[in-house]
Amino acid sequence: MSTYTETQLDALRELANIGSGQAAAALSTMLGHPVDISVPTAAAMELADAVAVAGEADASCHGILVPIVGDFEAAVVLLVPDDDAQQLCDVYGLDPHSEDGASFLQEIGNILGTSYINVLAEMCGMDMEPAPPQVVYDMLGAILASVLLARDETADMALVLDSALTVEGRPCSLSFLLIPAGGGVHELLGRIGVA
Amino acid sequence: MPPELPARMGEWVIGTEPGTVLCCIGLGSCIGLALIDRRTRMAGLAHVMLPEAPASTGTRPSQPDKFADHAVPNLIAAMIERGSARHRLEAVLVGGAQMFRSEPSRPGLSSRDIGARNEAAVREQLGKARIPVRAAATGGGKGRSMRVHVPAGEVVYKEAAGLPITLLEADADTLRMAA
C-alpha cells in the first residue's frame, strides 16, 4: 500500500502544474483559442473514492485514454462531458459522436498527453512514451474504474493528479488525470529528490 | 423514488426491506453480482473489482471484498446469517466489459482483460457454492449500471445513454412454478 508525504504530494502537484501548462499551450495552438489551467490537485485515495470525486458515476462522458509506457507506467485520462466535447468539436465543425469527431478527440488526447509526458520525462530523466490514444463514450465511473484497475491490480490506493482545462471563448472545460501505476511514482519521486 | 442502497466498488450490500433498491452504478470491468432469495424475499449485491486476492502476501488483504474469491463467499455467508439458505439463492451477473483494448501485458499477468477474468472468477465461486446463474449481461465494450428491486427480485440494467433492460423478471420462477 502506497502512501505519500505532503512534500511528495506537493512535488507531484508541481510536476502536474508544469506538465499541464505545457499541455494547455499545445491545445491552445491547436484550437486557436487561449486555454487556462486550474491549479492541479494531487491526492492518494481509495479507488472507490477516486471514482466518486471525479463526478457522477453514471454520467455519460467522452473518455480519452493515453497509456504511458516505458520506465514510468501510467495512464493519462481526459474526461470530457458531452456538451464540452460538442464545444471543442464545433471549432472544426465536427460532431463528437461521429467517427471524425472521435478521431479529433483522440488527437486532442494525443497532443495533451504527449506534451504533458514530454515535460515529465525531461524533468525526471525517465523514458516515457505515450501509446496511441483510445476514445470511448460511456459512464464516467465505468471508464475510470476500468482504467484504475488495469493499471495496478494489487493497489488499494490510487494516486490521481487532476487538472482542469478551460478553453476561453468556448464555454468548455475538461478534466485531465494522470494515474501512475504502482512503483513508477517512487522512482519518479527519487529522480526529483523527494523519495 | 424508493431508497437506493449502492454497493460501492469492493463492497456488498443486502436488502430485506420492501421497496429497497440495491444498485451498482458505472460497472466497467467490475462485476455486479446479484444474489436473490425469493422465499425470504432478500437480495444481495456485490461490486467485485478483481478476480482473486494476491496469494503471496499471506496476510488478509485490507479490502478483501474487492476480490471475487472473498466477496462471493462472504456475501453468501452474510445472507445465510440473515435467514437465507444456499440452495434457494439464484445469481445474476452484470458487467465485466473491456472498455479499452488491452495493452501490451507486463510480465506475470496472464491477460489484461480484467473483465473476462472477473466474470470467470465469480462464476467459479458460484459453481463451488452450487448457485445457478439465471441471467447475465457481461462482456462487450460498454459500461453498465444495475438495480435489484426488493422484495420482487427484479434485476434491471442499462448501458450509457441506453434504456433499462430487465434481466430477471419479478418473481419469474415462482410464477412459472405455480402455473
Give the pLDDT confidence of B118-129 residue by residue, as tens digits. Answer: 999 999 999 999
Using the Cβ of A131 and the Cβ atoms of chain B, whether some distance falls under 8 Å is answered with yes
Superfamily of domain A6-191, CATH level 4: CheC-like (3.40.1550.10)
Q: Which CATH class is domain B4-178?
A: alpha beta
- Distance in angstroms (rounded) separating the CA atoms of residues A115 and B155: 45
Domain ranges of chain A: 6-191
Predicted confidence (pLDDT) per residue in A105-145, tens digit = 999 999 999 998 998 899 888 889 999 999 999 999 999 99
Tell me how far apart the alpha carbons of residues A45 and B7 are, in angstroms, rounded to a whole number. 18
Q: B171 vs B155, B157, B177, CA distance in Å?
A: 10, 17, 10
Predicted ipTM of the assembly: 0.85
The three cell numbers of residue B74 are 462472504
Three-state secondary-structure class, residue B131: coil
Residue B31 three-state SS: strand
| For testing contact with chain A, the best of B30, B103, B114, B146 (most A CBs within 10 A) | B103
Identify the CA nearest to B6 among candidates B62, B46, B49, B64.
B46
* Residue with more model confidence, A146 or A183: A146
* A142: nearest CB among B50, B54, B143: B143
| Chain B touched by A146 (CB under 8 Å) | yes
Decide the pairing of beta strands B42-48 and B12-15. antiparallel
Taking the C-alpha atoms of residue A100 and residue A106, their distance in angstroms, rounded to an integer, is: 10
Distance from C-alpha of A131 to C-alpha of A114, rounded to nearest angstrom: 9
B39, burial (CB in 10 Å: exposed 0-12, middle 13-18, buried 19+): exposed
Instruction: Note the pLDDT tens digit of each residue in A13-64.
Output: 888 889 889 999 999 998 888 998 888 888 888 888 888 888 889 999 999 9
Of the candidates B49, B63, B99, the beta carbon closest to that of A142 is on B99
Q: Where are the domains of chain B?
A: 4-178
For residues A42 and B122, give the distance between their C-alpha atoms in angstroms, rounded to a whole number: 34
Instruction: Point out the least confidently predicted range of A34-43, B75-84, B160-169.
Output: A34-43
Whether B105 and B146 have beta carbons less than 8 Å apart is answered as no
- DSSP output for A159-187: EEEEEEEEETTTTEEEEEEEEE-TTHHHH
Got the DSSP string for A120-162?
Answer: HHHHHT--EEEPPPEEEEEEHHHHHHHHHHHH-SS-SEEEEEE
Q: Tell me, what's the pLDDT at A48?
A: 85
Q: Coil, strand or helix: which one is B36?
A: strand
Chain A residues within 8 A of B163 when measuring between CB atoms = none
Please, are residues A34 and A169 in contact by the beta-carbon 8 Å criterion?
yes
Q: Using the predicted structure, report yes or no on whether residue B110 has a pLDDT greater than 70.
A: no
CB contacts under 8 A, B 82-141 vs A, are: 97-101, 103-104, 106, 109, 112, 114-115, 141
Provide the pLDDT for residue B109: 47
pLDDT band, very low/low/confident/very high, at A151 (cuts 50, 70, 90): confident
C-alpha Rg value of chain A to the nearest Å: 16
**Ranges A36-40, B4-8, B61-65, B99-103: which has the least confidence:** B99-103
